[in-house]
């Protein structure tokens, strides 16, 4: 029997001074940006987005760490699209760390800590069958398409129908 390894994942709110670290994560995930039809953002783009994040009281973003190694990024918005709902706009795991259960662990952590949220939406950009399969396996169902390059998935949190 193979020994089980437990991932020690920690989430830390992203700060403006984390821009170079976040830019490095994005740079090491060119496949994701190719899927959505864009280049990885420049450091200046990351800085600008973090300034936008600071001004949006509903938006939350976290760096994901295994020990001291930054391995991913999680970005969501509370009370969007409606009160009592949240929308996960990006769960990015560095390409060399994908397939190790990190995304699953981060998503479950998020779902367990969304107090007062009844429904969690996940937005999948571009033609990304791996992301769509990931969310379906995690209990999300397709809710709607938001144009040719955006699919919305939803999962009920807590009791009640989706």
Q: What is the pLDDT of residues 24-45, one digit of tens each?
A: 999 999 999 998 888 999 999 9
Does the pLDDT of residue 3 top 70, yes or no?
no
pTM: 0.90
What is the distance between the alpha carbons of residues 140 and 127, in angstroms, rounded to a whole number?
17
Looking at residue 2, what is its pLDDT?
46
pLDDT number for residue 158: 76
Distance CA 71, CA 153 (A): 24
Backbone φ and ψ for 47, nearest 5 degrees, come out as -60, -45
Residue 159: predicted pLDDT: 52
* Across 131-135, average pLDDT: 95
All structural domains of the chain, each given as residue ranges with its CATH number in brackets, are 9-156 (3.40.630.30)
Residue 36 or 83, more confident: 83
Q: What percent of the chain has pLDDT over 90?
A: 82
The percent of residues in the chain predicted with pLDDT above 70, rounded, is 93
d(CA 126, CA 63): 23
């Amino acid at each position: 029997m193979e020994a089980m390894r437990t991932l020690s994942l920690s989430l830390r709110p992203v700060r403006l001074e984390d821009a170079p670290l976040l830019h490095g994560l994005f740079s090491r995930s060119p496949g994701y940006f190719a899927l959505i039809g864009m280049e990885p953002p420049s450091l200046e783009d990351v800085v600008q987005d973090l300034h936008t994040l600071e001004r949006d009281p509903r938006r939350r973003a976290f760096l994901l760490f295994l020990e001291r190694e930054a391995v991913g990024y999680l970005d969501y918005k509370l009370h969007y699209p409606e009160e009592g709902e949240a929308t996960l706009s990006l769960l990015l795991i560095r390409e060399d760390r994908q397939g190790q259960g990190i995304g699953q662990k981060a998503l479950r952590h998020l779902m367990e800590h969304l107090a007062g949220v009844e429904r969690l939406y996940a937005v999948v950009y571009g033609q990304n069958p791996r992301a769509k399969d990931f969310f379906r396996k995690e209990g999300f169902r397709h809710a709607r398409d938001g144009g040719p390059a955006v699919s919305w998935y939803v999962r009920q949190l807590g009791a009640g129908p989706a």
